[in-house]
Structure 1
Amino acid sequence: MPIIERELSGFRLPASPPKVGSSLTSFTLKTPSSGPYCNFTYTLSFPLTNVYRILLTGPDRPQPPHDNVVLPPVSLQFKLTSLDEKECIATFDFPSSGPDAFDGTGRKRELHLSWSEHLLLYVFEEVNGKNIRILGDLPNRAYALTEHGIMRHWWVEPDNLHLGLGEKAAPMDLSNRSFTMHGSDSAAYDAYNTDPLYKHTPYLISSPKPIKEGEDLISTYAIYHPTNSGGVWDVRREHDDPWGYFKAYRQDWGGLEEWILIGKGVKEVVKTFAEIVGRPRLVGRDWLGYLASGMGLGESDKPPAQDLLSTWPDLCKKHDIPCSAMHLSSGYTVDPTNGNRYVFTMNKDRYPNFKAMVGHFHKSGIKVVPNIKPYALQTHPHYKRLEKEDALFHDPIMKASVLTRIWSSGVGVSEKGSWVDMTSEGGRKWWAEGVQSLIDLGCDGMWDDNNEYYLHDDQFLCKSDMPLSFASPSTGPATVGLLGRMINTELMNYVSHTTLSKALPSRRSYVLTRSGNVGTFKYACSTWSGDNWTSWHNLRGSQAIQLNAGMSLMQSYGSDIGGFGGLLPSPEMFVRWVQLGVTHSRFCIHSFKPDKDDPSGAAATNTPWMYPEVLPIVREAIKWRYEYLPFFNSLMWESHLDATPSTAWLGFGEFSTDPELYTDTILNGFDAWLGPGSILVAPALYEGELTRDVYFPKSSANDTSVYFDLHAPYRRYPAGTRATIATPLEHFGLFAREGAVIPVGKRYQTVTQKSGPARTTPDGVDVLLDSEGGVVGLDDWRGVQLFPSSEETTYEGKWTEDDGISADPGKTIIVVEYKGGKDQVEVKIKFEEHGFETLWGKTVAVILPVGDERTVKGGKETVWEGRKVWEVQVV
């Protein structure tokens, strides 16, 4: 399809322009009321001290309707510092006061705007006494009209690192590539080449690279377009003389709403982004353990799937594998007569007593989350109801409900059906009733799947009758091109969340979604990278996808361990995937691998015990995950409150000035932080990779800290150095940074309450404790791993605890201050906040590195997991 690009020009000041030196809340330019580009309005404002917003609207280019911004619509005052009406140039100072925008630079910034013919905007920042341009428009081409939308061009910094855009293929640096802005059902995708994947996140970060160690960098910035309309981001891939290389964003429909965020490094920009769109939802503690799934388990007819699934808790016990949840694939909805999936129906042959099965899982401490899909085949028993209630998309040419091919049963099998229009009251009511029917059966959360809504015509109509706070509410049916397909994804998650919250008001809702726009994650607390393909290549690519998703506020995120589609992974590949997966915020082993030799498909489902020869290694990795569950839970609080990704790029935060982290070796590699500045993860992701090179990041030019090898006692690596480490199949590289504070617990599943919602499930079933013959224990022991040097250096860290389930949880914050020394370590632990009574009370076991023979001053010596530890009382 040819691109229509017509440069927008002719803007003028209002009849009574503002005076130089005056304080403004907005600055507006308009085009004449007649002519080729008449009645367009350009408005500049500053919502935060480090954020400016542009709104450009005109005939047939309304303000994009969306619910992707939560920041109140208040503009700060900013100063007009100069105005040349003849030359059409104005300059502005950024606001000097206002809400805390998390900028942290303290630098003066100016914005220069000109409009003599074409709009042109530059931002300058004072660095070391010089005014440096940090971002700006492409001259004579900045704002253009497309057939139904807007096109933007910026000059591009040739050496900047580009990050974000939600969920995009590897490598992590997005420079010199183009990306489609919508979601697609990208089953069996290539983790390095497929685009788009499942998410819609028009939010691009641009960060400078340091050339010298400790260099004072200019600021990082991000460009965010809240629209749900589709589009394309080109990040220095195109070249067009006389402009050369540039960055460009083409929005298919509507006017332009553009937010520019400026901050000290990627960390501050991500935090500011969260202030604009909303911080990540707090995921429940039980969703941080091992999450089981597998289509083969739920597809069985002989034996019935319920019988097959009901053996799962016993299999976990037999193989000594802790498990927190079963994600139940859609096999329970399959019609026994034709094999089609009909959401919110039950196959009684496979599941004669679904509620009893759920209760059986609950006794073993395993939550149940069913898969639900937002479409109905024409043969679905509810289809006529949905048509009657005008709950399906409308085709204005055929003057009928939109019919399309939709996945219905086996691989590649489809039938005619319709997507349910969640912008309609009838569609949302039907969805809420279906969700409630599964809650009534005892289900703990919802798995909103197959929700990309990739309707194949922008002119299809949806009701546009929505309960959300849209920037430009529609007064009637609107095209899916203008509204964007993924507003339906957001509304689907909204209804799932609100129905769960209404039915279980005291509990934190759990909605897992495959697709999503930015607004989706106000309602869904977890997501994953979709239906990946089993290969070493895709295993490696999953790490880069994980890192950009984290910087795009997708908090509880991971990939299907072992690969969803394709052949079974080899034992080595499966081990390496598990070892990587246990370091991600969402750890789920899931697959669909039909086996012709096993009608039930069970033998072809990825399970922890699928290869007896490597089961001890897999078991150790999963138990490590449970041991570190208090740490992961605290990282989720950091993400929820401060937007810090739990799995982070090595240059995140205080490490942004280390030039080594911007080399191709690191940017195309796979190492990451687990909790920035706490644990360096160095996975082995190549077949037969028994050793590998690791670089240990520096936080500054004067960083003298060391890294402690968690698998090789006595090994220490200075920051800023490289080393070749061993990566036998038994383990991956893990290195704790000097000064880290890592809370740990028991190496199996535990509950945080003896009675209450953390132990009693929604159907009233109590988790069976190990003292009662079950496999779940009480979370009544807490350790903290500390990593002091032999110098008298003082360190401080903290972690957060809560019950892991309450909708409005009380939290307890524990602060640890410790100091190294030659013969002993001084440790002080106190409660900074004490809103949740932990089962471990006030006793914490201090764990020093393996081989560290120093004593802990004032601590009581005892033994944990065969290691000497020191019990310290919290004050």
Structure 2
Amino acid sequence: LNPDDMVYGLGAASGQPHRQDQHFLLRTIDTLFYSIPDQTYTAFPFFLIRSKNRFRAVYLNSTYPVEITTTSDAGSEEGASVIIQQYRPEKALPLDLFCFEGSIAQILNAYTSLTGRPLHIPLWSMGFHQSRWSYKTEQRVMEIAEGFRQRDLPLDAIHLDIHYMDRYRVFTWDQKRFPNPAAMNKKLAEKGIRTVAIVDPGVFIGEDYSVYLDGLKQDLYCKRIDSDENYEGKVWPGPTVFPDFAEEKTRIWWASHHKTLFDAGVSGIWNDMNEPVLQIGKTSEPLDQPIRHQSDSHLKFRNQYGNLEARATNDGFARWKKGQRSFVLTRSATCGIQKYAAVWTGDNHSTWNHLRFNLHMILNLGLTGVPISGADVGGFCRGPGTTGAVKIFKNRELFARWMELGSLMPFFRVHTVLYSYSQEPWSFGEEALEISRKHMNRRYRLLHYISSLVREAHLTGAPLVRPIWYEFPEMEDPNLEQFMLGPNLLAAPVMAPGIRKRKVDLPSGDWFEFESGRRFVGGQTHYLDTRPGFYPLFVRGGAMLPTCPARRNAEESVRAGLHLELYPAESIQGSVFLDDGITADQTPTEVRVRGQQARNGQLSVQIEVIPGDYMPPYRNFQLRLPGVFRHMLSGTQMVSAQSVDATREDRSLDMVYFELPLESGSFTFDFRNAIQGN
């Protein structure tokens, strides 16, 4: 390396913004609430090197654990370098190193072409998710659902943690707590809400347990090192065995058992404890356990275990939900996981440090080819170690600021520990509730934009959440204090307590503050007030930003309409892709917008609608412009605009709209500045 090179990537290897001067053990482990330094739930041997405006990347194509040490000290024995060493080598192994160079977009396109394109998640999974360990009964789940609907808060999914199971036995339902899960899911569906069920890999050893007996009969479990007996560990249900997902027959078997959940109306699957945790509550070296796989060592397959389980889970979707997009959420992962699952960053802390780590981890996961990820909004536990499982004191400001940040993350879920206060948006007082409502609704208004970014990620590996220098290589921001959501939104979140003014470094060009519409000149530093509920969010000049009304869930929001907001510049361009949000491999309808602004202020816009397999239920859309554009020239006719009621969207900007038909073909419009016009 050069001494001033910066290293990024390695997935969620740490909460630091970059990877300089650090040591990482890339071996998956349950960190027991982040109590083990330099280790985490995932292992991604892929890193990006930034040399000012030049980008390179290295991918170590190996399933084995490695240690990576980075140093920027040119005077050290190795010099400025990245040092890769095998961890606990069984023997000398050939290592495949893939090296990439180009723009970050080109690198991630090539890398995901090699390791697998990201999953195209369903629309509903892009909405808001509410979770805790655990909503323990059917009645409590329905109370939470009703709490959202009574307060007019959008919600797409409630997560079911381990208490829905019969004595924590996977692929079962507790008949006392959840006597009729199918009926429960039907009632939730009437409210526009789905469920996501947790599935752990540990299978309880019980002679009265059909899942265990089925796997035993087919010989599908991991073995002891010293014999052909099944390895026995201990997790939630007690003594357990572990499916050997390296075997295809095991993955087929695992996929088949998801029928129990899907028949009950479950929509998504949440894979936890899949590092795998072999002995619950212990942070000792898992590779010391006497476990092996049927075809090779646990050392070889450990980092892959979460990927292989996620692959089997996707096979379950393909078998039981034919033709639908799947949603799988995983805690443990390695390179290639983007093909099978979204990643969440595990059992984080309800602290300002971990709020900052949230952003840094998601940005670095995106730079590792994992575009769909998120952290537990509000924080999961109090701190490291077993005592961190007790969370008593609420921090209203922290929760509100985390909701602001979380609303722009690829995956948006609140989750908290077993011994915790309630962590629903209304649990922190009226101010935090209204701040949450504002930013949850903003998330839903941006779903046309977000879903188009998800499609781009599926096709190219491009991250949704990006460092500012992804789009503007000349910018610095080495500590990742700002970020881009796609190419057109720049956010400067508040990540410390008591902050009432925020520094923002804007790239060149014009930028428009999202709420007020106020224009800011780029290439400069600006300071903005950051009152509670507000943080700087800018739209890039020349952007077409697709939005929609906010409704009670994602599907109802995008079906309620299409608003194309244009932000003036010499050249304007953008596209939005419309599909039904659930069908796999569907060709979307594309709406392309191109525009040019003349020196006299007139703005010419061309709209092209390219029909696909899906056409939305609306036949018109709103073309929105800054309020100075009050009239449209259509032939010899002058058509007047209508004003947008921005207050209904928690905004104060002056914006007008023209309602136009959504039709195939090309159209040209000419807008006359009201000051120069009639």
Q: TM-score, normalised to structure 1's length?
A: 0.68
1:515 aligned residue (332, 338, 341): 332
Give the match for residue 444 of structure 1: 267
The structural deviation recorded for 1:574 is 0.8
Give the match for residue 103 of structure 1: none
Partner Cα separation in structure 1 for residue 589 and residue 535 of structure 2 = 32
On the 8 A contact 2:593/2:608 being kept in 1, the answer is yes
The amino acid across from 1:548 in the alignment is N
On the 8 A contact 2:42/2:332 being kept in 1, the answer is yes
The amino acid across from 1:727 in the alignment is T
Partner Cα separation in structure 2 for residue 785 and residue 534 of structure 1 = 36
Give the match for residue 613 of structure 1: 430
On the 8 A contact 1:812/1:834 being kept in 2, the answer is yes
Structure 1 residue 357 corresponds to structure 2 residue 188: no
Give the match for residue 747 of structure 1: 550
The more displaced of 798-807 and 864-873 is: 864-873
Give the 3 Å change call, closer, same or farther, for CA 390–696 of structure 1 in structure 2: same
Give the 3 Å change call, closer, same or farther, for CA 294–844 of structure 1 in structure 2: same
The amino acid across from 1:346 in the alignment is W
Partner Cα separation in structure 1 for residue 38 and residue 122 of structure 2 = 31
Partner Cα separation in structure 2 for residue 366 and residue 497 of structure 1 = 22
On the 8 A contact 2:201/2:243 being kept in 1, the answer is yes
2:568 aligned residue (766, 769, 788): 788
Give the match for residue 846 of structure 1: 623
Structure 1 residue 485 corresponds to structure 2 residue 302: yes
On the 8 A contact 2:131/2:413 being kept in 1, the answer is yes
1:811 aligned residue (584, 588, 594): 588
On the 8 A contact 2:46/2:58 being kept in 1, the answer is yes
On the 8 A contact 1:824/1:854 being kept in 2, the answer is no
When Rg is computed on C-alpha atoms for both structures, the one with the higher figure is 1
SS across alignment from 2:309 = helix
Structure 1 residue 457 corresponds to structure 2 residue 283: no
The structural deviation recorded for 1:228 is 1.2
Partner Cα separation in structure 1 for residue 49 and residue 153 of structure 2 = 43
CA deviations over 1:266-300 (Å, ceiling 9, x no partner): 22212211111122111111111111211232x2x
On the 8 A contact 2:623/2:659 being kept in 1, the answer is yes
Partner Cα separation in structure 1 for residue 172 and residue 247 of structure 2 = 22
Partner Cα separation in structure 1 for residue 293 and residue 462 of structure 2 = 37
CA deviations over 1:541-594 (Å, ceiling 9, x no partner): 111101011111212211111111123541111110000001111111111252
Give the 3 Å change call, closer, same or farther, for CA 778–199 of structure 1 in structure 2: closer
The structure whose RCO (Cα within 8 Å, separation 6+) is larger is 2
Partner Cα separation in structure 2 for residue 184 and residue 727 of structure 1 = 38
The amino acid across from 1:310 in the alignment is M
Give the match for residue 235 of structure 1: 70
The amino acid across from 1:353 in the alignment is N
SS across alignment from 1:848 = strand
The more displaced of 243-252 and 859-868 is: 859-868
- 1:582-661 matches, within 5 Å, as 582-594=407-419, 604-614=421-431, 615-653=433-471, 655-658=472-475, 661=476
Give the 3 Å change call, closer, same or farther, for CA 295–649 of structure 1 in structure 2: same
Give the match for residue 530 of structure 1: 346
Partner Cα separation in structure 1 for residue 77 and residue 69 of structure 2 = 17
Partner Cα separation in structure 2 for residue 182 and residue 429 of structure 1 = 26
Partner Cα separation in structure 1 for residue 419 and residue 72 of structure 2 = 40
CA deviations over 1:422-466 (Å, ceiling 9, x no partner): 2346643542343111111121121111111256237855444xx
CA deviations over 1:334-388 (Å, ceiling 9, x no partner): 52xxxxx221222111111111111111111212111010002445835455445
The amino acid across from 2:481 in the alignment is F
Structure 1 residue 707 corresponds to structure 2 residue 511: yes
Structure 1 residue 247 corresponds to structure 2 residue 93: no
1:281 aligned residue (116, 119, 133): 119
Give the 3 Å change call, closer, same or farther, for CA 194–749 of structure 1 in structure 2: farther
The amino acid across from 2:121 in the alignment is V
Partner Cα separation in structure 1 for residue 140 and residue 340 of structure 2 = 32
Partner Cα separation in structure 2 for residue 400 and residue 291 of structure 1 = 41
Give the 3 Å change call, closer, same or farther, for CA 817–590 of structure 1 in structure 2: same
The amino acid across from 2:23 in the alignment is S
Give the match for residue 105 of structure 2: 267
1:552 aligned residue (368, 371, 378): 368
Give the 3 Å change call, closer, same or farther, for CA 244–788 of structure 1 in structure 2: closer
2:198 aligned residue (336, 357, 371): 371
On the 8 A contact 2:481/2:492 being kept in 1, the answer is yes
Give the match for residue 868 of structure 1: 656
SS across alignment from 2:468 = coil
On the 8 A contact 1:207/1:266 being kept in 2, the answer is no
Instruction: Specify which structure has the higher proportion of helix.
Output: 2
Partner Cα separation in structure 2 for residue 588 and residue 243 of structure 1 = 43
SS across alignment from 1:271 = helix
The answer for unaligned runs of 5 or more in structure 1 is 1-155, 210-216, 300-304, 336-340, 409-414, 465-476, 596-603, 699-704, 753-775
The structural deviation recorded for 1:834 is 3.5
Structure 1 residue 226 corresponds to structure 2 residue 47: no
The structural deviation recorded for 1:823 is 4.9
Give the match for residue 393 of structure 1: 222
1:829 aligned residue (607, 625, 628): 607
Partner Cα separation in structure 2 for residue 512 and residue 158 of structure 1 = 38
Q: TM-score, normalised to structure 2's length?
A: 0.87
The amino acid across from 1:485 in the alignment is R
Partner Cα separation in structure 1 for residue 479 and residue 571 of structure 2 = 35
Give the match for residue 158 of structure 2: 326
The answer for unaligned runs of 5 or more in structure 2 is 279-285, 383-390, 647-654, 666-678
Partner Cα separation in structure 2 for residue 197 and residue 275 of structure 1 = 26
Give the match for residue 577 of structure 2: 800
1:185 aligned residue (20, 24, 30): 30
The amino acid across from 1:278 in the alignment is G
On the 8 A contact 1:706/1:719 being kept in 2, the answer is yes
The structural deviation recorded for 1:184 is 1.6
On the 8 A contact 2:578/2:615 being kept in 1, the answer is no
On the 8 A contact 1:386/1:426 being kept in 2, the answer is no
- 1:106-505 matches, within 5 Å, as 156-189=1-34, 194-209=37-52, 217=53, 219-236=54-71, 242-252=77-87, 253=89, 255-297=93-135, 299=136, 305-335=137-167, 341-378=168-205, 381=209, 382-383=211-212, 386-397=215-226, 400-408=229-237, 415-424=238-247, 427-453=250-276, 456-457=286-287, 460=290, 462-464=292-294, 477-481=295-299, 483-505=300-322
Partner Cα separation in structure 1 for residue 355 and residue 643 of structure 2 = 38
The amino acid across from 1:809 in the alignment is Q
On the 8 A contact 2:255/2:314 being kept in 1, the answer is no
Give the match for residue 506 of structure 2: 696
On the 8 A contact 1:179/1:196 being kept in 2, the answer is yes
